[in-house]
Structure 1
């Protein structure tokens, strides 16, 4: 998880740095205000599109990792569930046998008291 957060932070930093660099470069360029504003708008749209694309890529990777994790969790749950059922059945049978023995012992003690 930390690796994904780190990559997202790096991506955000790169995009912010690129945007700042473009804006500063445009503002100091020797062009008319109208042309500069037009270029700034175009660059902002390019950066917005790039950010959407990268966000989509990250989203797809997260979905893929979620699918892998969910599959592993289901497998683990199935194994644990099966193990618990087996243990329950085993100890249930043992407890039933011991209970039958106790009942027989009590009955024989009661018969001997008669």
Structure 2
């Protein structure tokens, strides 16, 4: 996840740098103020649209990854639960069987003592 956070940070930095470069370039260009402001507004809208598109793209990837992780977690939890239940059932049956054997042995010993 660290690389993805770094990628998002680098992308944000690049977009901010590009925006600053475009705006500074337009401000120093030899054009009328009205035309320069129009170009700045157009470029700002373009950059905003790019940022929104990138946000939507990254957001969709995060949702997909969350869904995959969630599904994997649920599958793993189910597997663990079934394994624990199977182990419990196996050992429970063994304990019941051994306990029955012990009871039989004790009863047999008691019967032998009574005679």
TM-score (normalizing by structure 1): 0.86
2:51 aligns to what? 51
1:39 aligns to what? 39
Matches within 5 A, 1:1-114: 1-111=1-111
TM-score (normalizing by structure 2): 0.85
Alpha-carbon shift at residue 69 of structure 1 (Å): 1.5
Aligned residue for 2:22, secondary structure, equals helix
Alpha-carbon shift at residue 107 of structure 1 (Å): 3.8
- Count of aligned pairs: 114
Deviates more, 1:12-21 or 1:32-41: 32-41
- In structure 2, what is the Cα distance between the partners aligned to 1:111 and 1:21? 100
Deviates more, 1:52-61 or 1:26-35: 26-35
- In structure 2, what is the Cα distance between the partners aligned to 1:88 and 1:112? 36
Unpaired stretches in structure 1, ≥5 consecutive residues: none
RMSD (Å) for aligned C-alpha atoms: 1.7
